[in-house]
Structure 1
Amino acid sequence: MTDKLWGGRFAEDITQDVLDYTLTVDVDERLVFADLWQSVAHVLMLGARKIVPAEAARDLLGALLRLRDQSENGRLRLRPELEDVHFNIEQQVIEDLGREVGGHLQTARSRNDQVSTDARMYLRRVQLDAVEANLELIGELLGFPEEELLAILPGYTHGQAAQPISVAFWKTAHASLLLRDVRRLRGAFDRTDESPLGACALAGTSFPLDRQVTARLLGFRAVLSHALDATSARDYLIESASAFAIGGNNLSRMAEEIVVWSGHEHSLVEVQDAYATGSSIMPQKKNPVVAELARGRAGRTAGTLVQLLTMAKGVTLGYSCDLQEDKPYLWHAIDAYLSTLRIVAGQTRGLRFDGARGEELCWDNFSTATELANHLTAGGLAFREAHHVSGALVSALIRRGATLRDTAASAEILAGLGHPVPEPVLARIFAPRTAVTGYTSPGGTSPRSVTAVRAELRAAVTAYGAWLEGTRRRLQRAHDAAFGAARDVADGADLGKALDRIAPDLPTLYGDLS
């Protein structure tokens, strides 16, 4: 008979090839903290409900605390022959206490509810880290100097110059975009922050569990009550992967503009030397490699989303090993997303925009032609007719090899079209800076509008920052309370009294949301 923890009905062990193919210890290292924490919560509940003897609960908690100390000191190693983090922790408890006592650890618990609980606990950390990294990047974007309110850039549609904007307007646009990533992450957090522990394999158990107390000990704000749903669900992982993929795409779009605008043909922005590299053969090159990699690594987050959707689509309710293919890809996406957020924040801090170059390009690419149409419309002409007149002016100037800088030629052409405009008026309305300051509608490019938007975005950042800090405090309090109670009981305290002592530090559940 095999000596595996699950091996009672097996006459022979799996081969090394099968073990190598099925083990997950290489990706489970990130879950050690969660598996130890949930094991402590589980044993506290088992002892409080008298499902295991008080003395066994005391010994189990002592063994788990010893493993936690080893983990924090870097001495806890997951052994590949034990397949995954759950069997590693259980086996090491059994080796410490013997099977008669250590064998109680898995009472009323399955690897199916364990792995979902661990993954949710780890993912909560990641989601909060991603919120923090986004808020830091948004802060960099919103921290622009006042002169960037009038530092001119060409705005683009269809890849073609469209209308003048300011550097501050561009930065607040990306900040606004990233703030939606924060909102997505917070929403994903809410649906991740539900405890599946106690659902067991898929159908619950005949033991009188208290799933609410374990949820509170683990810092969850709700219990996912339906056992089959709790063990089968992977939508919270897919939703998180979607948030990471959308966030990666948003970072990629910003990176694309940095790459294109830093080229000589545009010369609108220069990245700090620390975020660029040179060429192995061309000494003049300065390559914006951080921006290029941010673009490329968005593919990792997008690919993970597709992988998870494909993995889950054919799996019926109840656990199947297909589902263990979630973590290797998700871990890569998490690492790519968080590292990109953090390095892009550093790059953003050192970006140097050339507003004079931006203004020059706006003069030469007819980007204020709309202002002539608006001027004529304000004078009583229907906008569609004014649009036609402005287009005819642009066409005539192009044929002459002229631009809107040539106000004398523009005045002559407009007079010939039957819509004369004095040259001094044209010089004013064609100036890119006039357009930027004149777009005073809410959300527009004017300094007043951009300043108002920045204030709104900063207020949202402050609110999300407060939520982030409060949520981390809640999880830390629950963590400290659970391990504090475990240590008290291991040292001889009454288990019921230990739980009563920590009750004020545990979150209040807001109910089942299934």
Structure 2
Amino acid sequence: MALWGGRFSGGSSNMFRQVNDSIGFDQVMASQDIFGSIIWSRALQGAGVLTADEQTQLEAGLQSLLDQAQAGTLDFSQTQEEDIHAFVEAELTATLGDIARKLHTGRSRNDQVATDFRLWCKDHIAMLRTDLVGVIAALTELAARSQDIIFPGYTHLQRAQPVRFAHWALAYVEMFKRDVSRLDDALARMNFSPLGCGALAGTTYPVDRQAIADQLGFTAPCTNSLDAVSDRDFVLELLFCASTSMMHISRMAEDMIFYNSGESGFIQLGDAVTSGSSLMPQKKNPDALELMRGKCGRVFGSLQGLLVTMKGLPLAYNKDMQEDKEGAMDAVTQWHICLSIAVEVLDSVVVDKERCQQAAQQGYANATELADYLVDKGIPFRTAHDISGQAVVFAISQHKPLEELSVAELQQFSAVIEEDVYPILQLEYLVDKRNILGGTGIEPVAQAVSAAQQFVAAQQATQP
């Protein structure tokens, strides 16, 4: 049953139906579509279109369908309907007869689908927000148990300055916290109801759109009918949130793949999130991390695809906009999967403290401290920088770290160097000297861990 069949005497071709029918993917919005129809039936009664008895029958029939949708027992396998809206109306008509044909009065599939998809996005934002908090919790726990582990920090993928492993984990805590705030912002802009805007120009029936919005769980109704039915900014924002967060996941995965490599050996991953080789029995591959990194591009593609679809569309609704759903639904699914597996990966991580310590000592990261030491002795920084670099070159030639050079060897480069240089060349000194907010000293790291724990506790306390 096509909802638009009034002026047509012939049916659609099979090829047209393959590109036109959306029931194969928009059926996942069954609960949202039925819920919206329940609220619309109440609005129609309030506008005098339905009697109280008619509305009661419609709501009872819709509630039965909603119960089936939520239980996952609605059967779409034999339907010939083109979309979820036609399917629901057909199911309702089969139960109630002609009274079901009154439900679509004053409503268009344009405002209906815009409402359905906003509701679907809102429901999934709640799920994704919980997922993000779970990743933050796993990172925070990893940080809490690795505060005493020092390993190399990198720039240009070259060893730079030593940091606490907890400081690395906390950097990603900050990224995922921003992802949470982006979702909250997207939800605030998404939280307006298109229902009652009709095809593009509103409806002639005196429905109470604020009451409709309230009952649907929206903040308010959309204020322009043209915009309401043709806006897909809310999908784009959700896809941008997904893309940014997947970029964070991918960067974290890349770090951990490197840290897990034989060349680094800083961490070991659990068996449950790794795989072996069909040829080489010694291999333990970080496949979960690689898949997380790989799926990032897939989510980016969904964002780019919808941007390109929307960029040339005139107002108001155009059938091109049916392309908003499959990419977005897949992106949400992939994001959810990656956030979920990220928790398992992080929970499995074992950090090799000794290997981390050795690597931090081998990178001549204390060269900056030697330069600062010389500055404290009255040498201009640029000169101190040159002296420190010369000492590093010599240490490399001797296959020694800076702290193992003798005073006499160091004094080749500056006579002001004394025995008091050795404490400042130790790893703990290098790290804990940066004892300021945002630094990698033990005190700011411990405070950051505590703040992250408090954030997680507050977020989990408000989750349903």
Cα distance in structure 1, aligned partners of 2:84 and 2:426: 65
Distance apart, 1:73 and its partner CA:
4.2
Distance apart, 1:51 and its partner CA:
2.3
Q: State the partner residue of 1:252.
A: 250
Q: State the partner residue of 2:84.
A: 85
* Structure 1: tracts of 5 or more residues without a match: 473-514
Q: State the partner residue of 1:482.
A: none
From the superposition, tell whether residues 147 and 87 of structure 1 become closer, same or farther in structure 2 (CA, over 3 Å). Answer: closer
Q: Residue 315 of structure 2 is aligned with which of 302, 306, 317?
A: 317
Name the SS of the counterpart of 2:411 in structure 1: helix
Distance apart, 1:145 and its partner CA:
6.8
Q: CA RMSD in A?
A: 1.7
- What percent of counterpart residues are identical? 33
Letter in structure 1 aligned against 2:90: Q
Cα distance in structure 2, aligned partners of 1:103 and 1:147: 62
Letter in structure 2 aligned against 1:106: H
Q: State the partner residue of 1:225.
A: 223
In the superposition, the TM-score normalised over structure 2's length comes to 0.96
Q: Residue 440 of structure 2 is aligned with which of 431, 440, 445?
A: 445
Distance apart, 1:431 and its partner CA:
1.7
Q: Deviations over 1:34-76 (max 9, x none)?
A: 0011000110111122122333212211221222233244332
From the superposition, tell whether residues 14 and 442 of structure 1 become closer, same or farther in structure 2 (CA, over 3 Å). Answer: same
Letter in structure 1 aligned against 2:106: A
Contact 2:395 2:401 in 1 (8 A): yes
Residue 305, structure 1, aligned to residue 293, structure 2: no
Cα distance in structure 2, aligned partners of 1:95 and 1:454: 59
Distance apart, 1:403 and its partner CA:
2.6
Residue 416, structure 1, aligned to residue 412, structure 2: yes
Contact 1:19 1:81 in 2 (8 A): no
Contact 2:432 2:440 in 1 (8 A): yes
Contact 2:222 2:228 in 1 (8 A): yes
Residue 388, structure 1, aligned to residue 408, structure 2: no
Q: Residue 27 of structure 1 is aligned with which of 25, 28, 32?
A: 25
In the superposition, the TM-score normalised over structure 1's length comes to 0.87
Contact 1:108 1:198 in 2 (8 A): yes
Q: Residue 427 of structure 1 is aligned with which of 417, 422, 430?
A: 422
More relative contact order, 1 or 2 (CA 8 Å, 6+ apart): 1
From the superposition, tell whether residues 283 and 299 of structure 1 become closer, same or farther in structure 2 (CA, over 3 Å). Answer: same
Name the SS of the counterpart of 2:221 in structure 1: coil
Contact 1:142 1:171 in 2 (8 A): yes
Cα distance in structure 2, aligned partners of 1:456 and 1:192: 30
Q: Deviations over 1:427-460 (max 9, x none)?
A: 3222222212221011111110111222333343
Name the SS of the counterpart of 1:155 in structure 2: strand
Name the SS of the counterpart of 2:153 in structure 1: strand
Distance apart, 1:401 and its partner CA:
3.5
Distance apart, 1:465 and its partner CA:
4.0
Q: State the partner residue of 1:373.
A: 371
Q: State the partner residue of 1:332.
A: 330
* Structure 2: tracts of 5 or more residues without a match: none
From the superposition, tell whether residues 147 and 200 of structure 1 become closer, same or farther in structure 2 (CA, over 3 Å). Answer: closer
Cα distance in structure 2, aligned partners of 1:239 and 1:444: 33
Letter in structure 2 aligned against 1:77: D
Residue 15, structure 1, aligned to residue 10, structure 2: no
Q: Residue 184 of structure 1 is aligned with which of 182, 185, 190?
A: 182
Cα distance in structure 2, aligned partners of 1:460 and 1:298: 27
Contact 1:137 1:341 in 2 (8 A): yes
Q: State the partner residue of 1:97.
A: 96
From the superposition, tell whether residues 147 and 207 of structure 1 become closer, same or farther in structure 2 (CA, over 3 Å). Answer: closer
Distance apart, 1:180 and its partner CA:
0.5
Distance apart, 1:462 and its partner CA:
4.0
Distance apart, 1:380 and its partner CA:
2.9
Q: State the partner residue of 1:454.
A: 449
Name the SS of the counterpart of 1:4 in structure 2: coil
Cα distance in structure 1, aligned partners of 2:379 and 2:455: 42
Count of paired positions: 463
Name the SS of the counterpart of 1:153 in structure 2: strand
Letter in structure 2 aligned against 1:61: E
Name the SS of the counterpart of 1:163 in structure 2: strand
Name the SS of the counterpart of 1:165 in structure 2: strand
Contact 1:168 1:450 in 2 (8 A): yes
Cα distance in structure 1, aligned partners of 2:90 and 2:423: 80
